[in-house]
Structure 1
Amino acid sequence: MPDSSLQALFEPRSVAVVGASGSPGKVGHSIVKNLVEAGYQGTIWPVNPKGGAILGLDAVASIAGLPEAPGLAVICIPPALVVGALEELGARGTRAAIVITAGFKEIGREGYALEQALAEVARRHSMALLGPNCLGLCNTTAGLNATFAAGQPAPGSVAFFSQSGALCTAILDWALGENIGFSKFVSLGNKAVLDESDMLRYLSHDPQTRVVLGYVESVEDGQRFVRVAREVTPHKPVIMIKSGTTAAGAKAASSHTGAMAGSEQAYGAAFAQAGVVRVADVASLFNLAQAFSTQPLPQGPNLAIVTNSGGPGIMAADAVERSGLLMAPLSGRTVDALMHALPPFASAYNPVDIIGDAGADRYRAALEHVAADPMVHALLVLLTPTASAQVEETAQAIIDVARGCAKPVFACFMGGRRVGPGRAMLQAAGIPCYAFPEPAIASIEAMYRYREWQARPMPVEVCYRRDKTRAARVIERARGEGCVEIVEFQAQELLGAYELPVPATELARTSDQAARIAARIGFPVVLKIASPQISHKTDVGGVKVGLDSEDAVRAAFLDITSRARRLREQAYITGCLVQAMAPKGSREVIVGFKRDAQFGPLLMFGLGGVYVEVLRDISFRLAPLSLDDAHRMIREIKSYPLLRGVRGEPPVAFKAIEDILLTMSQMAQDFPDIYEAEFNPILVDHQGAVVADVRVTLCSGGG
């Protein structure tokens, strides 16, 4: 969408309200009323077939009767008339439109067709189209309130967009009560043309916007969203809520990866890789909005707490311990200064407890010393309304110290009526003030995590050597045989095409051949059933390990194949794979991917074997993986210390696992025809890693 059309949407020189009404309570009346009361300085043309005057403005009977093409048209007429009205406006040269009207794809097939026609008209005329089925938008800088919401949003540096119009009205009402201001306020509606990616791109260049907030229920083009968000987040924080992430109705999965990699994991990976700060609820959204829009980012994890009560100080310290922050170790110079300034029973160590009889002067002295300590990266001030507390004077002391401090300063005034005036003073001065310590610490942690993400080097993507022609032959052969799954004995060539490390493996068609292969490979060995119809080998007792003689191999071969024929009568039994055993002390990990409808290949990593089923201790990333992504995926799981080595065990060969992750990322991008793939287990020791088992599932219908 051209920037000029988005500029027409947010900064129009004139607005036509198509469907304007003189009847209070109607949508067309509320829109005109909001435009007038917001102080919009451009021309407003109400369009109503009856003509007359609406709120003191002369109404125009039709679009054809407009004296010129309006810069922005706000349309609130019946759905059957909307496409024709948009066509007429586009032909006259209108560059932007907001369709308030509902009754499009949200009602089913008929509405979907109508919305497609609407989008086609907008694209043909290069119009920025917001909606349909939306609340509208506000640009407080331009005095533009093209919504039918009650109340005028206050100016501010926070931009907000939402897919839910109802949530928009609730948040706007809540923000008015909390005195939170907005630079832009946008209801996306059905997103026929403009979506969250367009909003992010526009807001990234908006000088009035310091923080971007968003609520989405779905992202149709996930890969575009990630690209755009990556452009925005290095210089502006983007904080978002995503709802509706269950994978109900998803395709039944044949692998652990498929079972565990759902929509929720894809969105989580997308937000993390794009630098989007994700929150779970609206309260957290606005806690962070206030923090990011008013305070500098902490340059490190060290938090200092100053309190007049030991209990809340301990609560705050516990919350810090559970977070990614650290309790700042105060320097000896700071401790000495605090001991000199505070009463004998006070604590000069972090948390600094200035005790319950502290007045504003004691708070000021303690804060000045703590804020000056170079080991302190952020400051949290707690106040409980003791008999001696000077609430408003203490608030002023905090404001004064914060003005001369380059570090983020947060407050927590615990209580109700008595601390209210102090809270109001702090909020007005741009110092976030909370009722309890935990949300304050969560906000500081989010800011620190964002600062860490900003400081990361640009991702380095790698392209691994592979024989794509050889790999394509494996997939084409499976398709030709009518197979949707490529099981291990068939997938060996696929692994070879990507030069993945595998244990010595050969296919045996008879028990004698299996014994000869085992002797050549070297005992002990593993035997696995080989059948294109059997992917879950353990379900039919199709795996035998630790076979240490030719006789043991022969017996195992006959047992495995006869059992498989009995339990899977329709399966074609090719034979058994004979495979070298893993070196002693190897640990099992799993690497897999599943193709997400919105975001493309979603890769996963965790401990392999039964651990992945029981612990579900998994990390996720979207392809393509960077070197940093692969590095962090391994170290994110809670079981990472087991791979690092415990009780004298050497650490595993992490680079070998990273190579396998990056190779699978390459395979996922090379072949969109692969729906999901899994290497499980990968056997890894201190020297290297081998892929011991593999399963590949193709997209039904050829991709």
Structure 2
Amino acid sequence: MDSLFSPSSIAVVGASSVSGKIGNTILSNLQSAGYAGSLYPVNPRGGNVCGLEACRKISEIGHSVALAVIAVPRDAVLGVFRELLDLGVGSVVIVSAGFKEVDHEGWLMEAELAELAKENNVNLLGPNCLGLINSRGGVNASFATGNPHPGSMGFFSQSGALCVAVLDWALGTKIGFSKFVSLGNKAVINEASMLEYLGNDSDTRVILGYVENIEDGREFMKQAAKVSMKKPVLMMKAGTTPAGARAASSHTGAMAGSDRACDAAFRQSGVIRVDKLDELFNLAKAFSMQELPQGPNLGIVTNAGGPGILAADACGESVMRMPTFSPSTIGELQRMLPGYASLYNPVDLLGDADAESYGRAVRIVGHDPAINSLLIIIAPSVNLDLTSVAKAVTEGMSEVNKPVFCCLMGRKNSDAARDIFAEAGIPVYDFPKQAVRAMDCMYKYAVWKGRPPRTFITPEHDVEAARKVVDNVLRSGRAELVEFQARDIVTAYGLPTPEADLARSGDEAVSIAEQLGYPVVLKIASPEISHKSDVNGVRVGLNSAEEVRAAFWDITARTQRLRPDAYIAGCLVQQMASPESREVIVGFRRDKQFGPLLMFGLGGVYVEILKDISFRLAPLSVEDAGDMVREIRSYMLLKGVKGGEPVDFEAITDVLIRMSCLASDFPEIYEAEFNPVLVSSDEALVADARMTVVDISAEGSIQPDELE
């Protein structure tokens, strides 16, 4: 996309000589940014525009241009775009609004623009966008106010208004950008395109993004997984309400909203998700200025006890640790500090500390072999010269090859000190928790980057056998596979189930029960009844022929009375699981952008009330499956408490992997749930299953090699 970010020539179509108009602002911004290429204002009236002679028509330019910025009314955009294609344009930015964000006619126009751009291999940014800025290349093809400082942060946003606010804030705080892009309606260039470009951009050290929706989830994950191995990707995702869950018919569907899928996509592809705009830039500051810490051990130096305690509390809420210093470090601190000062982590230099004591302390703590990074807290005091302290700290840290962060509490008279830290590449925060949060994210990212490659396996399964069941249900016009139908698919995918058989009479139920051995479970079998509890259609712990026969007639009679419309096939007679078994739930629901979203949690009241669940997108790696199990808050109940045996974690992982395989193989299965899966110390049995199918053409699934 060099013609977009480093164009040799730029045409501004809709350039205006009237100050304040968008076409005038774009041309003025290009000139004030120091753009050194050829500029061609296009205005039907001609004349002088910002000191340049305007072309009345695009054809008057007479040769191809690398980049064109279109700032004309919506209804004129398509005609202008076609003229630019005839001229031979490389990239186009459309700042004009009124397209798919407004009405159907605008949607059709935008679709035609996208098709033309793709057919002619033209980069199209927008429409309905602010434009773009390459601060190191002298390109400000936007109608924003001011030119951002050059920096190492690449930023893209779906919201143009947010871009304006961020630019204004960045100018006030002297934060710099390498590239600054407003995506607008994302007709062609979207967040995946920007990840790919910025991932290869040598001027960009950290990538920031704000999105409200993600157009192509598969491509986004593919690019994010590649880029995040090279540089950090920090993203803020708005629009988190899982509206799609309202129509869901299962526990999985009710909990697996689009935001859950986005969260899983970020997690699996290494994207660091943030919830607040200030946090986005707090983290970006750290990543752009400091190297990644080699461990979680943090040394803290402060001149005030309270802020030191706040920093320690923040460490307790994160993965960061505050180790004890070595005896030699404590000895050196003892020799330089008053007897009543704290020599341990955090080091409290006390309120009368001066620049010299700060400089010596950071050298001593920084050289301690147990310390991986440092946090320097400076609280203003009457006699403390902040500028001198900043110089002493930066000089001291120049001898220590470890990441260092500063918390400079107070704003009055601190600008000079903040500038000194910024020039030394030390990020400065207003409060201890902000600094610790940044260090926590950096260390977690370092761990993620250093992890071994994911392991993807495809267990043996019979796709054809499962295909017959799905096709039969689709031909029947039904949308659901209830347990006695879904069992065939479960078996085809090699998933163990309790021994069971379908009984069509009370006598047949007794015969099956005696073959299986008591105690047994009876469940209503009807293709129209997916939630057996609605008709009280389950009996457990049946220990005799009399109990089984009575339960069969009671279940079927009640169901016939409550659901006279339902076809009753009989009752499923099933082995009872071991009383030591614990119930878990495994399910998936297909997300529109990202594909199958898998869920895991404890079954029963835990999933109903506590919603103690974890999510990942298919395909699952072995490591993903293990992480899902360990991630839930109730993990220790599975591991065993008060002498209880741990469950078979490999068996749970196997169920998750096979569910992932099923989800990837059958796009027709929109939603599936194994609930409960009965897990003991030596097995995991799928005791109940149900699935929802839709008649759609195959959409494909994310392939393992796209995540590696």
Question: Structure 1 length normalisation: TM-score?
Answer: 0.98
Cα offset, 1:420, TM superposition:
3.9
| Aligned residue in 1 for 2:209 | 214
Cα offset, 1:700, TM superposition:
5.4
2:137 is aligned with 1:124: no
Distance 1:432 1:27 in 2: 36
| Aligned residue in 1 for 2:662 | 667
Distance 1:263 1:333 in 2: 54
| Aligned residue in 1 for 2:704 | none
2:565 is aligned with 1:576: no
Deviations along 1:284-333, whole A, 9 cap, x unmatched? 11111110000010111111111111111111101110112112232222
Cα offset, 1:108, TM superposition:
1.4
Partners of 2:242 and 2:256 within 8 A in 1: no
AA partner of residue 85 (structure 2): G
Closer, same or farther: CA 616–249 of 1 in aligned 2, 3 Å:
closer
Partners of 1:507 and 1:578 within 8 A in 2: yes
1:16-27 matched pairs, under 5 angstroms:
16-27=11-22
2:370 is aligned with 1:375: yes
2:36 is aligned with 1:41: yes
| Aligned residue in 2 for 1:612 | 607
Cα offset, 1:247, TM superposition:
2.3
| Aligned residue in 1 for 2:155 | 160
Partners of 2:670 and 2:692 within 8 A in 1: yes
2:94 is aligned with 1:96: no
Higher mean displacement: 535-544 or 596-605: 535-544
Higher mean displacement: 510-519 or 246-255: 246-255
AA partner of residue 74 (structure 2): P
| Aligned residue in 1 for 2:456 | 461
Cα offset, 1:702, TM superposition:
6.9
AA partner of residue 675 (structure 2): N
2:188 is aligned with 1:188: no
Partners of 1:356 and 1:388 within 8 A in 2: no
Distance 1:533 1:374 in 2: 67
Closer, same or farther: CA 702–71 of 1 in aligned 2, 3 Å:
closer
Higher mean displacement: 146-155 or 326-335: 326-335
| Aligned residue in 2 for 1:648 | 643
SS where residue 466 of structure 1 aligns? coil
1:187-586 matched pairs, under 5 angstroms:
187-248=182-243, 252-586=247-581
Partners of 2:363 and 2:399 within 8 A in 1: no
SS where residue 534 of structure 1 aligns? coil
SS where residue 278 of structure 1 aligns? strand
AA partner of residue 661 (structure 1): L
| Aligned residue in 1 for 2:706 | none
AA partner of residue 66 (structure 2): G
Higher mean displacement: 28-37 or 79-88: 79-88
Distance 1:506 1:626 in 2: 34
Question: Structure 2 length normalisation: TM-score?
Answer: 0.97
Partners of 2:246 and 2:254 within 8 A in 1: no
Distance 2:397 2:157 in 1: 33
Deviations along 1:183-229, whole A, 9 cap, x unmatched? 10001110111111111111111111111111111111101100011
SS where residue 173 of structure 1 aligns? helix
1:106-145 matched pairs, under 5 angstroms:
106-145=101-140
**RMSD (Å) for aligned C-alpha atoms:** 1.2
Distance 2:184 2:647 in 1: 50
Cα offset, 1:694, TM superposition:
0.5
The total of aligned residue pairs comes to 698
Cα offset, 1:341, TM superposition:
2.0
Partners of 2:474 and 2:695 within 8 A in 1: no
Distance 1:579 1:472 in 2: 25
Distance 1:218 1:676 in 2: 22
Deviations along 1:341-366, whole A, 9 cap, x unmatched? 21111111111112111111111121
Cα offset, 1:280, TM superposition:
0.6
Partners of 1:313 and 1:351 within 8 A in 2: yes
AA partner of residue 268 (structure 1): D
SS where residue 101 of structure 2 aligns? helix
Distance 2:430 2:656 in 1: 45
% same residue: 54
AA partner of residue 173 (structure 1): D
Gaps of 5+ in 2: 699-708
Deviations along 1:244-268, whole A, 9 cap, x unmatched? 1212255611110000000110000
Distance 2:62 2:490 in 1: 69
Distance 2:643 2:655 in 1: 26
Distance 1:673 1:169 in 2: 44
Distance 1:292 1:276 in 2: 13
2:632 is aligned with 1:624: no
Distance 1:173 1:401 in 2: 34
Deviations along 1:363-389, whole A, 9 cap, x unmatched? 112111111112111111111112343
SS where residue 495 of structure 1 aligns? helix
SS where residue 446 of structure 1 aligns? helix
Distance 1:333 1:512 in 2: 83
Higher mean displacement: 256-265 or 376-385: 376-385
Partners of 2:598 and 2:660 within 8 A in 1: yes
- Work out which of the residue numbers 635, 638, 643 in structure 1 matches 2:633: 638
Deviations along 1:28-77, whole A, 9 cap, x unmatched? 00000000010000000100111111111111111010031111000001
Distance 1:169 1:256 in 2: 42
SS where residue 174 of structure 1 aligns? helix
Closer, same or farther: CA 702–522 of 1 in aligned 2, 3 Å:
farther
Distance 2:590 2:246 in 1: 11
Cα offset, 1:701, TM superposition:
5.8
Distance 1:575 1:212 in 2: 59
Cα offset, 1:81, TM superposition:
1.2
SS where residue 407 of structure 1 aligns? coil
AA partner of residue 134 (structure 2): N
Higher mean displacement: 661-670 or 520-529: 520-529
Partners of 1:83 and 1:121 within 8 A in 2: no
SS where residue 670 of structure 2 aligns? strand
Partners of 1:296 and 1:406 within 8 A in 2: no
